[in-house]
Copies of this chain bind each other. A is one copy, B any other.
């Protein structure tokens, strides 16, 4: 942000000791970004409730920038209109149409804030500006100008109400959008630009859990998660935050706090330690667990290529055509060749791409050279995530033993520095998750 490519110097304020777990310094004014999604601004009473949340922070002396999404359902309506007019619509016009949803919310929230005595004004992406790439529909934020916001914090005590999800391309002057969930990224980018103490993401859950509480009732809310861990959790289906917003938070050093928009504004102490999960640098996490969470995904399919020629270039022959077909490949396992001439290669693809992947590979068969394709869609991927694994050996081995004791067969294994993933039969997913959750001491007391 702000045109800097190197990591930004840490903000002076954040270098002070942090007195409580996730809280802001009690003794002085803090600077906050507050992001509210579509459900939180779905109608006028809820917009008023958001205004009350903002007032709480302003009354506590904090400087506040709010980032809002479109009212729930509005973006879908606008997208449907574009599709109805033409399935092959111009992405630039699509962005112009769809960005109008956030424009409405930002104006309405500014009015709601003024109505309760808070000085506020709305900002569209092109006004601030929030400069992006020209990848319409999935643009990347390049720079956010926060100087005017900071000036207005100081001179007018003015709350900035910023339309999320949108920006402007510098050369063309056209409106861009960031893709679904982009308002999270907008919020983190604004937080970086104004050097906010914290970027609060208000959602319909009260934080990030050790695993899905619907599967494991004894799942615990995490007090803190490291950025790297959250990236794994988010990309594996803990759909609390857009992955790009976590990446940006990590690069820019923006502390992201996931909290509930359903908490009543009057019940919250703005200087206190509200419920939620702080996503931060691992240095800020004092009592590091070995394992932080268990993620799982049933949207996987397994493909095995039998008796592939075991020769250089065969992996490229297989995965090149899949990449060209825009199919994400995961968990590649190549068995050591038994006969010295052929091998089996197993990998996973998203279940939605299973049939298409088979067609791509069938077409490439003469070029690859293999005997046959096997596959399975009734599989699930269970992942164990924790930065502590870096320094603890044998974490995965414990899992293999515990699952074996339950009679759960492991189809494939892949590992990284802070994570390992196991492919199992889908029917055993819940059992495996509960087993691992207990095994690594994540169950709440």
Enumerate chain A interface residues (CB-CB to B < 8 A): 44, 47-48, 78, 81-82, 84-86, 88-90, 92-94, 96-97, 99-101, 103-104, 106-108, 110-112, 114-115, 121-122, 124, 126-127, 173-175
Picked from B44, B85, B112, B127, the residue with its CB within 8 Å of the CB of A47 is B85
A88 proximity list for chain B (CB < 8 A): 115
Interchain CB contact under 8 A, A96 and B85: no
Chain B: minimal CB distance from A235 (Å): 32
Known: A81-B108, A97-B103. 6 other contacts (CB 8 A): A48-B85, A85-B115, A86-B114, A90-B114, A97-B111, A127-B173
Interchain CB contact under 8 A, B103 and A107: no
Picked from B81, B96, B114, the residue with its CB within 8 Å of the CB of A44 is B81
Give bound CA distance, A48 to B101, whole Å.
22
A-B contact pairs, 14 of them (CB 8 A): A44-B84, A44-B85, A81-B104, A81-B108, A85-B108, A86-B111, A86-B115, A89-B115, A90-B114, A94-B107, A94-B111, A97-B107, A100-B103, A126-B126
A107 proximity list for chain B (CB < 8 A): 82, 93-94, 96-97
Interchain CB contact under 8 A, B81 and A96: no
A111 proximity list for chain B (CB < 8 A): 82, 85-86, 89-90, 93-94, 97
Q: For the complex formed by this chain, how many copies does it contain in all?
A: 2
A101 proximity list for chain B (CB < 8 A): 100
Picked from B92, B94, B108, the residue with its CB within 8 Å of the CB of A82 is B108
Q: Taking CB as reference atom, which chain B residue is nearest A116? A: B86
Q: Taking CB as reference atom, which chain B residue is nearest A103? A: B100
A100 proximity list for chain B (CB < 8 A): 100-101, 103-104
Q: Taking CB as reference atom, which chain B residue is nearest A80? A: B44
Chain B: minimal CB distance from A156 (Å): 14
Picked from B47, B96, B110, B122, the residue with its CB within 8 Å of the CB of A103 is B96
A124 proximity list for chain B (CB < 8 A): 96, 175
- Among A107, A110, A175, residue most surrounded by chain B Cβ atoms (within 10 Å): A107
A121 proximity list for chain B (CB < 8 A): 92-93
Give bound CA distance, A82 to B92, whole Å.
28
The 8 closest A-B pairs by CB, nearest first: A97-B107, A86-B115, A96-B107, A100-B100, A93-B107, A89-B111, A93-B110, A85-B111
Give bound CA distance, A294 to B107, whole Å.
44
Give bound CA distance, A94 to B86, whole Å.
31
Chain B: minimal CB distance from A53 (Å): 15
Chain B: minimal CB distance from A96 (Å): 4
Give bound CA distance, A184 to B126, whole Å.
26
Give bound CA distance, A330 to B97, whole Å.
45
Give bound CA distance, A253 to B84, whole Å.
40
Chain B: minimal CB distance from A4 (Å): 25
A82 proximity list for chain B (CB < 8 A): 107-108, 111
Q: Taking CB as reference atom, which chain B residue is nearest A51? A: B85
